[in-house]
Structure 1
Amino acid sequence: MDFDRLQTFLRVVQYGSFQQVAAREYRSQRAVSKQMTQLEHELQVTLFQRGHNRISLTPQGRLFWASAQDIVNNYTAALTELREFDAPTKRLLRVGYFSAFEQPLLLRALYALKKRWSDSQFVVRQGSNEHLTQQVLDGSLDLTLSISYGRPAVAAATKLQATSIYHNQMVMGVSRLNPLSKLAQIPQQALTTLPILYYSPESSTFLLESFLASAPFIQDYEQIRRVTSAEQMHLLVSLNQAVAFYPAGLISAKHDEQVAYLPIEGDNLQDYDIVALTQPGQQPPLLKALMQQFSQTKL
């Protein structure tokens, strides 16, 4: 697929006009329109509804929009990674994490290694558990963080080693505008009718299955919805439009004036572990040092 076409597609969606994109890029409107027609022919779908002065995305176009953003972002990230390493180094570590909540664990450990070995270089990727696990399996990542919650982080048949680096309890975030926030624990029955959110940067069934396994009292799968950013999730919870799963210990709960974080009443399935997934066997020195650093890092 032509990368320039994808970038043009994203700009057309952003500005809602072939003419505006053409003017900004000093091209003809016809050239921009031709690129989009070629992209539609390549995909064999109609991406745009073309009006007299305005265009809009079709349902297929909206679906492809998210995929196109991922493709362009991943390609750009890969180029950035390649250009960062102008000189060979023996101290290179490639690591992944699946949500913003695990970022402090990873940051503190990597920062300590960088202080110890200033010539160390890190490739850091964020993605879904499925993608990151596969990248450790195929050797393109040395380690990724995952979560064991309601179900193991990886299936028993998967040839990866899972080492717990952090243990705590999952809690529910409830707006302080909601009377439930005054309780010491949130009743299970109260969760059967509320929209429940979880955060994942990529489309993934892993976290959804984990949350369902940990909350068998929830019968309506449509009740649990994914949001693509932690900020969006927190905004919706703060405004009392939903409740959400949060990992205790990995959030700044003490001074949150909008959201209360409550354990689920009478439930013993809410313990979680952040685990480091690695290939079994001999590990390079920098990876061993990172695992040791995880064991010493305190939040």
Structure 2
Amino acid sequence: MDQKQLTLFIETAQLGSFQQAALKNLLSQRAVSKRLRALEDEVGTPLFDRQRNQVVLTPAGQHFLTRAQEILETMHAASTEAQRLGTHHAQRLAVGYFSPFDGALLRPALSRLTPHYALTIEEKGMEHLISDVLLGHLDCAVILHHLPLDGPLDQVNLASETIFQGHTTMGISAALAGEGPTLAPQLLTQLPVIYYISEPSTYLETGFRHSVAPVVDHLTIHRVPSFEQLQLLVGLGQGVSFYPEELLSAVVNPHAGIVYRRLAGIDTANETFQLIYRKDRHHPGVRALLRALRQPANGR
């Protein structure tokens, strides 16, 4: 099967008619029917129920329609990226990040590099970012560094430079927050702690448990698959979450029904974002990114 065949299949499914698909593509109805029959033979099952005045998708056809649309979107994205890289003589720079907050840190810095570098940007879990930088799939990545947990990164051939330091704050539903400038640590035993990262990862969970261990010895904590879901659950009082306080304004919706307060009795000055890269690779784009991150527009 090829791109033209998949496009014809999608258009026929949307129009519900071989004749309409033929008119749209300047083909004969017989040619459309023949091409789609060949696609069904290749797939190995009927995709259309051919009725008297229309064609409708079979259950297999409904499933294949979703996959065909995904395949075409992927092909289009790959083609666009290849054309951009083929015509763009700038050097490639692949950058990774793990959350909306470090994404907000990167955005203005990367915008300064766009005219000079062909950028590839990927969101992944922290463990994935570290391994991809080590393997050379990424030139650099932003991580939240927990030194007591990770040990020195230079022991694994990674250099790191701090690009942001701040405080951890908690988000809780405004209906549950009560009075006072801080939250009692015992709250963490009453509501689940939830966090967002794009793929399964225990890195943030382990770091948070370590930070509250002096005052909380038992808590329920789990990951949710999207930041929007996290904010919805916190706003509805279904959990609490932790955030980099100084970056809230760049990311969160002020009307989500959430208030943000530090935990009482906890050292909250533990948000350290670092840019990591291979020590034995001297990519000029990484140095340019570090310079851009240090410019005042990033609010530090």
- Report the TM-score, using the length of structure 2 for normalisation: 0.69
Opposite residue 91 of structure 1, the aligned amino acid is Q
| Equivalent in the alignment of 1:167 | 165
The DSSP-based 3-state class of the residue aligned with 1:183 is coil
Show the 5 A alignment for 1:1-299: 81-87=81-87, 89-114=89-114, 118-149=115-146, 151=148, 156=153, 157-178=155-176, 180-216=177-213, 217-220=215-218, 223-252=220-249, 255-256=254-255, 258-268=257-267, 270-281=269-280, 283-297=282-296, 298-299=298-299
Measured against aligned partners, the alpha-carbon deviations of 1:12-54 in whole angstroms (never above 9, x if no partner) come to: xxxxxxxxxxxxxx6799987879xxxxxxxxxxxxxxxxx99
After superposition, the Cα gap between the structure-2 partners of 1:89 and 1:176, relative to the gap in structure 1 and judged at 3 Å, is: same
RMSD of aligned C-alpha atoms? 3.7
After superposition, the Cα gap between the structure-2 partners of 1:104 and 1:153, relative to the gap in structure 1 and judged at 3 Å, is: farther
After superposition, the Cα gap between the structure-2 partners of 1:100 and 1:254, relative to the gap in structure 1 and judged at 3 Å, is: closer
The DSSP-based 3-state class of the residue aligned with 2:187 is helix
| Equivalent in the alignment of 1:20 | none
Determine the C-alpha separation between the residues in 2 that align with 1:34 and 1:215. 56
Native 8 Å contact 2:161 2:275 kept in 1 = yes
After superposition, the Cα gap between the structure-2 partners of 1:290 and 1:193, relative to the gap in structure 1 and judged at 3 Å, is: same
Give 1:95 shift: 0.5
Measured against aligned partners, the alpha-carbon deviations of 1:52-105 in whole angstroms (never above 9, x if no partner) come to: x999xxxxxxxxxxxxxxxx9999976664443123524321101011111111
Native 8 Å contact 1:150 1:211 kept in 2 = no
After superposition, the Cα gap between the structure-2 partners of 1:171 and 1:78, relative to the gap in structure 1 and judged at 3 Å, is: farther
Determine the C-alpha separation between the residues in 2 that align with 1:29 and 1:130. 42
Opposite residue 117 of structure 2, the aligned amino acid is S
Determine the C-alpha separation between the residues in 2 that align with 1:125 and 1:212. 27
Give 1:281 shift: 4.3
Give 1:290 shift: 0.9
Native 8 Å contact 1:181 1:260 kept in 2 = no
Alignment coverage as a number of residue pairs: 243
Structure 2: gaps of 5 or more residues: 1-35, 47-57, 61-71
Give 1:190 shift: 1.6
- Report the TM-score, using the length of structure 1 for normalisation: 0.69
Determine the C-alpha separation between the residues in 1 that align with 2:222 and 2:255. 23
Opposite residue 288 of structure 1, the aligned amino acid is R
| Equivalent in the alignment of 1:23 | none
* Percentage of identical aligned residues: 28
Native 8 Å contact 2:170 2:243 kept in 1 = yes
Determine the C-alpha separation between the residues in 2 that align with 1:275 and 1:256. 30
Structure number with greater Rg is 2
Structure 1: gaps of 5 or more residues: 1-25, 36-52, 56-71
Determine the C-alpha separation between the residues in 1 that align with 2:285 and 2:174. 44
The DSSP-based 3-state class of the residue aligned with 1:133 is helix
The DSSP-based 3-state class of the residue aligned with 1:103 is helix
After superposition, the Cα gap between the structure-2 partners of 1:93 and 1:31, relative to the gap in structure 1 and judged at 3 Å, is: closer
Determine the C-alpha separation between the residues in 1 that align with 2:78 and 2:226. 22
After superposition, the Cα gap between the structure-2 partners of 1:151 and 1:257, relative to the gap in structure 1 and judged at 3 Å, is: same
Native 8 Å contact 2:232 2:256 kept in 1 = no
After superposition, the Cα gap between the structure-2 partners of 1:242 and 1:205, relative to the gap in structure 1 and judged at 3 Å, is: same
